[in-house]
């Protein structure tokens, strides 16, 4: 992340003079065309004040104008080992794509040295894309998760990670099939004990049964119970692809529908994040809302693979808690700005082709979904997700000038500025990212 400013602060305390745009916990946004954001010694936002009215001691703020400070993006769904394949396999059906492109790739992480090499690069790439919080899937190999957590710890990103659990279909050729459930649970519990809550909650654990196609009912139930016992997250995929749904209904004939498979496993609730949820019946939607289960919306993935179109407006109207995910590598782009863009196009298509007349989201609503709503999904919105005094200084500095179509046509009004960041996102527009006021390295 190259900076024209020689002295970008690497550690707290510091103050930045910049443009500032953030959603607010109370609703709406705050837009400051010229303000000073002060980060205290502990890495929290101490104050945000219009320039000229800044508190004493912050006059020496590092001036990064015309860059704009935003809260760091929250990516609620990505697969760490899949990043090398990003952009490959468009248009395939999910189950074909997994067999052809993904399981062979994840199998390479049976050698922990592969994880040791790739995980730091991956975290650097997420930070360069503006993501400061990630909810990730690893692989089935425990040693690779250990390496991933160590890499996240050293990098500084906020990360929730889980070892993938698969006891019905797996790509681990070395495993003793009779012992697979016990071993997967034991290794997951051990990883959770070691990493959940590390560095004052910056690193957390998510029990991660891959999806109902690859897990027995027992695996789903036991992993959900272990997550509950540890106060950790539980994540899996749901209703992504028509072929997948048919397979789940074949494997679980006793279930009323896909969501019911997870309901019977006692997997629904406020610590659960389900990826995709594209094809939900009204009953399934109501049940997710009723149980306060949360969803990672991954629009770029949904159209990269031939998965489908999420009826987002219908879900939001029903009160579903939704944030955004890149779903790399089914999503080709690590950027949550990219997820916003494809999400917006998807909603437009749904309106003109799908006949959905509900309102679509505007740029500032996409900003909220990619930041504060994502933090809410994870239950950490008291800590991150917006730039407000008292919250952790998880933020990014964005150079919007590279999104202008021609010199001099810069946007200087918040919705227009955000619209440019979404629809004309530039790969190098994020110039710096901080978590708790500590600068995150890019992909060196």
- Which residues would be at the binding site for ligand GUN (CB under 6 A)? 79, 94, 98, 102, 210-211, 237, 240, 301, 327, 330
Out of Zn ion, ligand GUN, none, what residue 98 binds, judged by CB under 5 to 8 A for its kind, is ligand GUN
Positive or negative: CA dihedral 98, 104, 110, 114: negative
CB closer to Zn ion, 106 vs 172: 106
Inter-residue contact 262 to 212 (CB < 8 Å): yes
Shortest gap between Cβ of 326 and ligand GUN (angstroms)?
11
Shortest gap between Cβ of 237 and ligand GUN (angstroms)?
4
Each residue 308-327 as x (binds Zn ion by CB under 5 A) or -, in order, gives -------------------x
Out of ligand GUN, Zn ion, none, what residue 210 binds, judged by CB under 5 to 8 A for its kind, is ligand GUN
CB closer to ligand GUN, 139 vs 386: 139
Shortest gap between Cβ of 6 and ligand GUN (angstroms)?
42
Measured between alpha carbons, how far is residue 301 from residues 5, 171, 240, 312, 403 in Å?
35, 22, 10, 15, 24
Shortest gap between Cβ of 261 and ligand GUN (angstroms)?
14
Distance, CA of 280 to CA of 276 (rounded, Å): 10
Looking only at the bridges linking them, the beta strands covering 272-276 and 294-297 are parallel
What residues between 99 and 138 interact with Zn ion by CB under 5 A?
none
CB closer to ligand GUN, 30 vs 168: 168
Render the burial of 297-335: b for 16+ CB within 10 Å, e for the rest: bbbbbbbbbebbbbbbbebbeeebbbbbbbbbbbbbbbb
Shortest gap between Cβ of 268 and ligand GUN (angstroms)?
18
Out of Zn ion, ligand GUN, none, what residue 333 binds, judged by CB under 5 to 8 A for its kind, is none
Out of Zn ion, ligand GUN, none, what residue 203 binds, judged by CB under 5 to 8 A for its kind, is none
Shortest gap between Cβ of 138 and ligand GUN (angstroms)?
11
CB closer to ligand GUN, 126 vs 211: 211
> Which of these ranges, 63-71, 96-104, 268-276, 286-294, lies near Zn ion under the rule CB under 5 A?
268-276
Question: How many positions of this chain bind Zn ion (CB under 5 A)?
Answer: 2
Shortest gap between Cβ of 238 and ligand GUN (angstroms)?
9
Out of ligand GUN, Zn ion, none, what residue 102 binds, judged by CB under 5 to 8 A for its kind, is ligand GUN
Quick one: which of 310, 284, 288, 286 has its CA closest to 299? 310
> Which of these ranges, 87-95, 253-261, 267-275, 360-368, lies near Zn ion under the rule CB under 5 A?
267-275
What residues between 325 and 344 interact with Zn ion by CB under 5 A?
327
Out of Zn ion, ligand GUN, none, what residue 240 binds, judged by CB under 5 to 8 A for its kind, is ligand GUN
CB closer to Zn ion, 132 vs 235: 235
CB closer to ligand GUN, 13 vs 243: 243
Q: Which H, E and C letters describe 233-265, residue by residue?
A: EEEEEECCCHHHHHHHHHHCCCCCCHHHHHHHC
CB closer to ligand GUN, 237 vs 420: 237
CB closer to ligand GUN, 17 vs 210: 210
Shortest gap between Cβ of 251 and ligand GUN (angstroms)?
14
Inter-residue contact 64 to 361 (CB < 8 Å): no
Shortest gap between Cβ of 231 and Zn ion (angstroms)?
24
Helix pair angle (112-128, 142-155), 10° resolution: 40
Distance, CA of 215 to CA of 223 (rounded, Å): 10
CB closer to Zn ion, 14 vs 137: 137
CB closer to Zn ion, 68 vs 213: 213
Shortest gap between Cβ of 240 and ligand GUN (angstroms)?
5
* Cβ-proximal residue to ligand GUN, closest one: 330
CB closer to ligand GUN, 240 vs 257: 240
| Interface contacts to Zn ion, rule CB under 5 A | 275, 327
């Amino acid at each position: 992340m190259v900076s024209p400013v020689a002295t970008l602060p690497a550690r707290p305390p510091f103050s930045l003079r910049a443009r500032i745009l953030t959603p607010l916990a109370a609703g709406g946004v705050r837009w400051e065309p010229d303000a000073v954001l002060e980060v205290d010694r502990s890495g929290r936002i101490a104050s945000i004040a219009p320039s000229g009215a800044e508190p004493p001691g912050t006059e020496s703020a590092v001036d990064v104008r015309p860059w704009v400070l935003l809260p760091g993006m929250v990516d609620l769904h990505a697969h760490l080992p899949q990043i090398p394949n990003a952009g490959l396999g468009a248009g395939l059906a999910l189950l074909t794509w997994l067999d052809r492109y993904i399981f062979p790739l994840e199998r390479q992480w049976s050698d922990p040295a592969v994880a040791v090499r790739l995980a730091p690069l991956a975290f650097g790439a997420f930070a360069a894309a503006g993501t400061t919080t990630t909810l990730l899937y690893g692989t089935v190999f425990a040693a690779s998760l250990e390496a991933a957590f160590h890499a996240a710890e050293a990098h500084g990103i906020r990360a929730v990670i889980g070892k993938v659990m698969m006891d019905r279909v797996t790509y681990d050729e070395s495993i003793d099939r009779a012992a697979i459930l016990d071993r997967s649970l034991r290794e997951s519990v051990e990883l959770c004990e070691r990493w959940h809550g590390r560095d004052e909650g910056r690193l957390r654990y998510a029990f991660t049964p891959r999806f109902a196609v690859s897990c027995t009912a027992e695996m789903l139930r036991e992993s959900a119970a272990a997550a509950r016992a540890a106060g950790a997250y539980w994540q899996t995929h749901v209703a992504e692809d028509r072929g997948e749904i048919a397979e789940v209904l074949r494997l679980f004939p006793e279930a009323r529908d896909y969501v019911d498979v997870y309901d019977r496993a006692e997997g629904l609730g406020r610590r659960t994040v389900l990826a995709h949820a594209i094809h939900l019946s009204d009953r399934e939607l109501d049940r997710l809302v009723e149980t306060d289960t949360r969803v990672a919306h991954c629009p770029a993935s949904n159209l990269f693979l031939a998965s489908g179109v999420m009826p987002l407006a219908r879900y939001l109207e029903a009160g579903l808690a939704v944030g955004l995910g890149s779903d790399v590598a089914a999503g080709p782009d690590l950027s949550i700005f990219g997820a916003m863009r494809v999400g917006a196009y998807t909603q437009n298509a749904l309106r003109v082709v799908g006949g959905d007349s509900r309102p679509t989201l505007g740029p500032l609503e996409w900003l909220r979904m990619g930041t504060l709503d994502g933090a809410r999904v994870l239950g950490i919105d008291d800590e991150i997700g917006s730039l407000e005094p008292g919250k952790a200084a998880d933020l990014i500095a964005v150079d919007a000038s590279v999104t202008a179509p021609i010199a001099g046509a810069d946007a200087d009004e918040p919705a227009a500025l955000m619209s440019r960041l979404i629809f004309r996102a530039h790969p190098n527009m994020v110039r710096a990212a901080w978590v708790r006021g500590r600068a995150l390295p890019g992909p060196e």
